[in-house]
Structure formats: structure tokens, C-alpha cells
Amino acid sequence: MRAKQLKQLISRCVKAQIEGDEDIQPIHIWGPPGVGKSAIAKEVALEMGIGFVDLRLALLDPTDLRGIPVVQDGHARWLPPSFLPTQTVPDKNGKGILFLDELTSAPPLTQASAYQLTLDRRIGEYELPDGWYVLAAGNRMEDRAVVFRTSTALANRFTHITLEHHIDDWSDWALGNGINATVIGFLKFRPNLLLNFNTESSEKAFASPRTWEFVSKFLGFLPKSILNESLEGTIGQGATAEFLAFLKIQNELPDIEKILNGDHSFVPTRVDIKYALVSALASRAETVKQYDSLIRYSYKLSAEFSVLLVQMLASRDDGNKVMACPSSRQWALDHGDIILPRRK
């Protein structure tokens, strides 16, 4: 299931749990490392304005979930851990998502502790409040991560969904979250490198949505002298070689300043140069005048690249420069089905 569909499914289940009289079965998100399982869970909670408790089960012992026993009136009473949500904590009106992350990486005894939490919404003397929805995530056996087989009894408590990565879903997210325009442009050109995960490879680093975010940050502060080796240690040698070749194309483009300042005579025909040019232009634009120049230039490009250029401009726009451009109104009328991203 693609990210947009998965977010819709989780949102519907959380809403039903909050508003309904019956408990809704938990969802277990499956997928390779770095594909965005945890990010989707957090985004749903943020967009719904509810609480979010992230439990990394691989780091917990069974007693960490159940709590510790104390003697009270001659009987043993279990004190639950403070990280579990309660009705007495006014967090987001007492509603939220209890996220059991890395469930498959937890040893069997810890998974057994989580079983009662997913089955009965309680563990020991602790009871999960009605407004909280249980959501889990984990890697697959074939991913060669630290994974323990999930018992059939625990597995049968979940609706199991495998998260599929897709360049359109990722680029929509990237445009709204400040990812470097060059990274977005490159991956639109080479979408198969968004996730370059090979379980048979002995290479430590590999490309994934998570590691491309690291690359975006590196481009902001690393000098060229150490960029190559740093990228290889982040996304692997193959992806680094192709990304550096893309950067070289950008460096060999005609004078970007001329296009920014209104000279729109250069219109590339090669697809790789189009992606390199669009991302370079979006990265360099600073003033309203330059933004306006690029919106007008976008009409010289095919529809796909026109939209991508303006979307990239909008994703960098923390001062409403796009809306201040004289040409933006006409562009919006001509592309009425396009929703421009807002910088978060």
C-alpha cells in the first residue's frame, strides 16, 4: 500500500477508535529499513492533532511494559511505567496513537508482553484509555535486520499492511519538508534510487528515503572536499556516483543568472538536463523578481517540468514570494488542479 493510502487507512481507524464504542483492531506496518514507517505514524498524529507515544520495543524488557510490583495492603500491585498514556495526563485531550515501533525486533518475551496490550488493551493492572489507538511497525525477515519471528497469536491481532515506496509520494513529502531541490530533482530523474536496498549486498550504506534526507542536510554544510566520501557512507557507492554525475551536469549548465534575470532563450531538450536545470534554478532563486522570472520561464518547459519548477519554488518559499509574483495568478489559473506545497 502506498503512503497516501496507508495514512488514510490509519486516520480512519484512529477516528473510529476515538468516536466509536468498540475497539478497532491495530495495524502492523511492514517494510524495509528507512522506507518511512515511523514517519507516517507521526504525520498522522500531527495532522489529526492528537497525542503520540513512540515505544521502541527492541529497547524494552518485558518488565518495562508491565511495570514493577509493590506491596500494598498485603498484596502485590503492579505500578505501570510512566511512558504509557493515561486519562489523567491532559495530552491532546486524552486521545492519541500508541506506536509499538520495531515490534519484530523485540525478543519473544517482550513481544509476549505486547500481546496483551494489543489483545485486551491492557497489561497487568494498566488499561489503555479509550481514545488511544494501537499501531505497530517492523522490518521483515527478508530484510536482514534484527528480526524475531512474530508468534501467530500476536500476528492474528493485527491488520498487516506492507508499505510501498513511490517517488510521487516521497516528492510530495519532500517538497513540504525542506528537502534540497537538487535531491528532489535527481530522484525524479532516477526514481529507482529512492530505495536501493539489496539484501545480498555487503555494502553497509544504501539509498533509502531516510538516507536521502541525510544527503539533503549534507549539501547544506559539507565542503566539496569531503562530500564524495560522506555520500558514499550514506547512500552507497553506486547511488553516489550517479548523484555526483547529476551535480556535474548542474555545474555545466549555461549561466543560471541569465535565466533568473529574464533571459529565457535556453530551453533544454535532454531529460537529465531538464531535471538538473529545474532543481538548480529553484535552489538559486532568492528575490520576488527572480521567482516571477522562473514562473514565466516555466511556460517554455513541458507541463511536467513547469509544475515541478513552481512546486520547488513554493517549497522554498517562507516569505510568500510565489504569491507576490505578478505571473503567479495566471499560472494558478492555468494549473488549477495543482496544489502547491507549503513549507513546514
Same domain, 72 and 186: no
Question: Would you say the pTM of this structure is higher than 0.75?
Answer: yes
- Asked which of 162, 186, 206 is the last residue of a domain, the reply is 162
Check residue 64 and give its pLDDT. Answer: 83
- Choosing from 118, 133, 162, the residue where a domain stops is 162
DSSP 8-state code for residue 190: S
Q: Classify residue 201: in a domain, yes or no.
A: yes
Q: Are 17 and 118 in contact (CB under 8 A)?
A: no
Query: pLDDT tens across 200-229, in order?
Result: 778 889 999 999 999 999 999 999 999 999
Residues 296 and 265 placed together within one structural domain of the fold: yes
Residue written as cell 495532522? 47
Please indicate, yes or no, if residue 339 is contained in any of the structural domains: no
Position with higher pLDDT, 342 vs 52? 52
| Mean pLDDT confidence for 64-88 | 81
Work out the pLDDT band at 79, boundaries 50, 70, 90: confident
For the segment 312-341, the average pLDDT, to the nearest whole number, is 88
Domain span at 60: 3-162
Arithmetic mean of pLDDT, 83-107: 80
Please enumerate, as own/partner, the contacts of 175-179 that have beta carbons within 8 Å and a separation of 24 or more.
Answer: 175/311, 175/312, 175/314, 175/315, 175/341, 176/315, 176/341, 176/342, 176/343, 176/344, 177/344, 178/216, 178/315, 178/316, 178/343, 178/344, 179/212, 179/213, 179/216, 179/315
61 within domain boundaries: yes
* pLDDT at residue 202 in the model: 80
Q: Which three cell numbers stand for residue 78?
A: 503492579
Q: What is the pLDDT of residue 149?
A: 82
Indicate if 155 and 195 belong to the same structural domain: no
Q: Tell me the mean pLDDT in the region 14-24.
A: 85
Please provide the average confidence, as pLDDT, over all residues in the chain: 90
Together in a domain, 213 and 92: no
Domain count within the chain: 2
Domain match, 148 and 180 both: no
Does any domain span residue 341? no
279 and 147, same domain (yes or no)? no
- Is residue 344, in this structure, part of any structural domain at all? no
